[in-house]
Amino acid sequence: MPRTATVVRHTKETDITATWDLDAQGGGGIASGIGFFDHMLEALAKHSGTAITLSCKGDLHIDGHHTVEDCGIVLGQCLRQALGDRAGIERFGHIACPLDEALVEAVIDISGRGWLTYELAPPAASIGGLASELVPEFFGALADQACITVHLHQRAGRNSHHIVEAGFKAFARALRQAVRVTGSGVPSTKGMLA
C-alpha cells in the first residue's frame, strides 16, 4: 500500500493543503509564508527521506501562530494517515544531530499516543520571521495529531538558528528510522499501537 496522505484544512485563520509521502523523496514545494519555517520543513523532508508538499495561506498580518500550529496539525494528520495500521515499521527512532556548536537529541516512538517533551532553548526571540516560541507549538501539534511520542533535548548550542535547525534535523532523522519498514507485524505486544 502506498504510504502517502493528503490533508486539507480550511479555517478562518488558515488555508492549508499538504501531502506527505513516506516512500518518496523530493516534493512539490513548501510555502507557508514564513521563510525560516519553510527552510525547516524542507530540512524535515530532506533528512527524513520523505516528500512533503505544503501550501499555507495564513493570517500572517496578525502573527505566525496560527500558520505554524495549523501546519503542525495538518502534517501530523498526514503522517498518521500515511502510516496506516503501522504494520512492519521499526516504531522507534533515536539520534543526536549536530550543527556546528549546537547538538540536539531526538527520540521518537510511533506509539499511538501523542506526547511532546521539548527542551530546546534558542536565545533569540525570532529567527528569520519565525518566533522561537512557535517551534514547540509546531512539534506539539504534529505529535498530537500523528499520535507519536517525541522527545527533543538540546545538549549544546548558542546560536538560535543552529539550535532549531539541529532540532528539525534530529527529529527528521529519528523519524526516518521509526517509519522504516523492517518487519511484517504491528510492533507491539498489545497487537496494536494505541
Cell of 93: 527512532
pTM comes to 0.95
Cell of 187: 510492533
Phi, psi of 86 (to 5 degrees): 70, 15
Digit-coded pLDDT (tens) for 8-19: 999 999 999 999
Residue 152: CB atoms within 10 Å: 24
Q: What does 93-112 look like in DSSP terms, one character per residue?
A: EEEEEEETTEEEEEEEE--S
Domains and CATH numbers, the chain: 4-179 (3.30.230.40)
Digit-coded pLDDT (tens) for 59-104: 999 999 999 999 999 999 999 999 998 989 999 999 999 999 999 9
Q: How confident is the model at residue 190 (pLDDT cuts 50, 70, 90)?
A: low
pLDDT number for residue 26 = 77
